[in-house]
Protein backbone atom coordinates (compact mmCIF):
# COMPACT_ATOMS: atom_id res chain seq x y z
CA UNK A 1 0.00 0.00 0.00
CA UNK A 2 1.37 3.40 -0.98
CA UNK A 3 1.75 5.64 2.08
CA UNK A 4 2.55 8.87 0.27
CA UNK A 5 5.31 10.63 -1.58
CA UNK A 6 8.77 9.62 -0.33
CA UNK A 7 10.96 12.11 -2.19
CA UNK A 8 11.64 13.89 -5.47
CA UNK A 9 15.11 13.74 -7.06
CA UNK A 10 16.54 16.19 -9.58
CA UNK A 11 19.75 15.55 -11.51
CA UNK A 12 21.70 18.79 -11.79
CA UNK A 13 25.01 19.90 -13.26
CA UNK A 14 25.96 22.09 -10.27
CA UNK A 15 24.86 21.05 -6.78
CA UNK A 16 25.75 24.38 -5.18
CA UNK A 17 23.86 26.44 -7.77
CA UNK A 18 20.73 24.30 -7.37
CA UNK A 19 21.09 24.32 -3.58
CA UNK A 20 21.13 28.12 -3.67
CA UNK A 21 17.91 28.18 -5.73
CA UNK A 22 16.16 25.76 -3.39
CA UNK A 23 17.13 27.89 -0.40
CA UNK A 24 16.39 31.27 -2.01
CA UNK A 25 13.17 30.52 -3.90
CA UNK A 26 11.62 27.54 -2.09
CA UNK A 27 12.66 28.33 1.51
CA UNK A 28 14.24 24.86 1.59
CA UNK A 29 16.09 23.53 4.60
CA UNK A 30 19.31 21.68 3.74
CA UNK A 31 19.40 18.41 5.67
CA UNK A 32 22.39 16.57 4.22
CA UNK A 33 25.36 16.89 1.88
CA UNK A 34 27.50 13.95 0.83
CA UNK A 35 30.48 16.24 0.24
CA UNK A 36 32.92 14.37 -1.96
CA UNK A 37 31.50 10.96 -0.96
CA UNK A 38 29.32 8.95 -3.35
CA UNK A 39 26.95 6.76 -1.39
CA UNK A 40 24.56 6.62 -4.34
CA UNK A 41 25.34 7.18 -8.04
CA UNK A 42 26.90 10.61 -7.50
CA UNK A 43 27.42 13.40 -4.99
CA UNK A 44 24.10 14.55 -3.53
CA UNK A 45 22.31 16.93 -1.18
CA UNK A 46 18.97 16.53 0.60
CA UNK A 47 16.50 19.27 1.46
CA UNK A 48 13.03 19.60 2.93
CA UNK A 49 10.63 21.85 1.01
CA UNK A 50 7.17 22.24 2.49
CA UNK A 51 7.53 18.90 4.29
CA UNK A 52 8.73 17.09 1.14
CA UNK A 53 12.16 15.47 0.87
CA UNK A 54 13.90 16.88 -2.21
CA UNK A 55 17.15 15.28 -3.34
CA UNK A 56 19.56 16.75 -5.85
CA UNK A 57 22.26 14.62 -7.45
CA UNK A 58 25.15 15.62 -9.65
CA UNK A 59 24.86 14.58 -13.29
CA UNK A 60 23.98 15.61 -16.80
CA UNK A 61 21.05 18.03 -17.09
CA UNK A 62 17.89 17.28 -19.04
CA UNK A 63 18.55 17.74 -22.77
CA UNK A 64 15.44 19.85 -23.35
CA UNK A 65 12.60 21.65 -21.66
CA UNK A 66 9.21 19.92 -21.37
CA UNK A 67 5.93 20.51 -19.52
CA UNK A 68 6.71 17.69 -17.04
CA UNK A 69 6.89 19.50 -13.73
CA UNK A 70 6.61 19.51 -9.98
CA UNK A 71 4.15 21.93 -8.41
CA UNK A 72 4.51 23.31 -4.91
CA UNK A 73 1.57 24.90 -3.09
CA UNK A 74 1.96 28.52 -1.97
CA UNK A 75 -0.52 30.88 -0.28
CA UNK A 76 -2.23 33.26 -2.69
CA UNK A 77 -1.21 36.29 -0.64
CA UNK A 78 2.48 35.43 -1.22
CA UNK A 79 2.17 34.88 -4.99
CA UNK A 80 3.77 38.22 -5.92
CA UNK A 81 6.60 37.71 -3.42
CA UNK A 82 7.49 34.34 -4.97
CA UNK A 83 7.22 35.76 -8.48
CA UNK A 84 9.71 38.47 -7.49
CA UNK A 85 12.11 35.85 -6.07
CA UNK A 86 12.01 33.95 -9.34
CA UNK A 87 12.66 37.08 -11.37
CA UNK A 88 15.41 38.22 -9.00
CA UNK A 89 17.28 34.96 -9.58
CA UNK A 90 16.96 35.20 -13.36
CA UNK A 91 14.91 32.08 -13.87
CA UNK A 92 13.16 31.60 -17.20
CA UNK A 93 9.43 32.02 -16.61
CA UNK A 94 7.21 29.88 -18.83
CA UNK A 95 3.98 31.32 -20.13
CA UNK A 96 1.04 30.18 -18.03
CA UNK A 97 -1.53 27.86 -19.55
CA UNK A 98 -5.14 28.95 -19.99
CA UNK A 99 -7.08 28.59 -16.76
CA UNK A 100 -10.60 28.35 -15.49
CA UNK A 101 -11.25 31.31 -13.20
CA UNK A 102 -11.12 30.30 -9.55
CA UNK A 103 -8.75 27.31 -9.84
CA UNK A 104 -5.80 29.25 -8.42
CA UNK A 105 -2.83 31.14 -9.81
CA UNK A 106 0.44 29.63 -11.01
CA UNK A 107 3.88 30.66 -12.05
CA UNK A 108 5.99 28.18 -14.02
CA UNK A 109 9.76 28.51 -14.32
CA UNK A 110 12.75 26.50 -15.49
CA UNK A 111 15.92 26.00 -13.48
CA UNK A 112 19.40 25.89 -15.05
CA UNK A 113 19.01 22.16 -15.84
CA UNK A 114 15.66 22.37 -17.72
CA UNK A 115 13.48 21.21 -14.79
CA UNK A 116 10.10 22.92 -14.79
CA UNK A 117 8.68 24.03 -11.45
CA UNK A 118 5.25 25.43 -10.69
CA UNK A 119 4.23 27.47 -7.67
CA UNK A 120 0.45 27.17 -7.39
CA UNK A 121 -2.06 28.81 -5.06
CA UNK A 122 -5.02 26.48 -5.59
CA UNK A 123 -5.98 23.04 -4.35
CA UNK A 124 -7.24 19.89 -6.04
CA UNK A 125 -10.67 20.45 -4.47
CA UNK A 126 -10.90 24.00 -5.86
CA UNK A 127 -9.94 22.86 -9.35
CA UNK A 128 -12.43 19.99 -9.40
CA UNK A 129 -15.21 22.28 -8.17
CA UNK A 130 -14.47 24.82 -10.91
CA UNK A 131 -14.42 22.05 -13.53
CA UNK A 132 -17.78 20.73 -12.26
CA UNK A 133 -19.25 24.23 -12.43
CA UNK A 134 -17.93 24.56 -15.98
CA UNK A 135 -19.67 21.35 -17.01
CA UNK A 136 -22.97 22.58 -15.53
CA UNK A 137 -22.65 25.95 -17.32
CA UNK A 138 -22.01 24.23 -20.67
CA UNK A 139 -24.96 21.82 -20.40
Distance (Å, whole) CA 36 – CA 22: 20
* Residue pLDDT, tens place only, 128-139: 888 888 765 554
The predicted pLDDT at position 2 comes to 87
* Per-residue pLDDT tens digits of the chain, which is 139 residues long: 989 999 999 999 999 999 999 999 999 999 999 998 988 999 999 999 999 999 999 999 999 999 999 999 999 999 999 999 999 999 999 987 776 677 789 999 999 999 999 999 988 998 888 888 876 555 4
Distance (Å, whole) CA 88 – CA 92: 11
Marked catalytic residue, from 3, 37, 44, 125: 44
Indicate the DSSP class of residue 62.
P
Q: Is 95 a catalytic residue?
A: no
What pTM does this model have? 0.88
Complete domains list, the chain, with CATH: 1-59 (3.10.180.10), 61-139 (3.10.180.10)
Amino acid sequence: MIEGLSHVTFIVRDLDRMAYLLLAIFDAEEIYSSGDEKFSISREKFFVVGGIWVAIMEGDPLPEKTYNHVAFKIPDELFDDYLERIRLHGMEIREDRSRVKGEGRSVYFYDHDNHLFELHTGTLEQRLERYREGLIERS
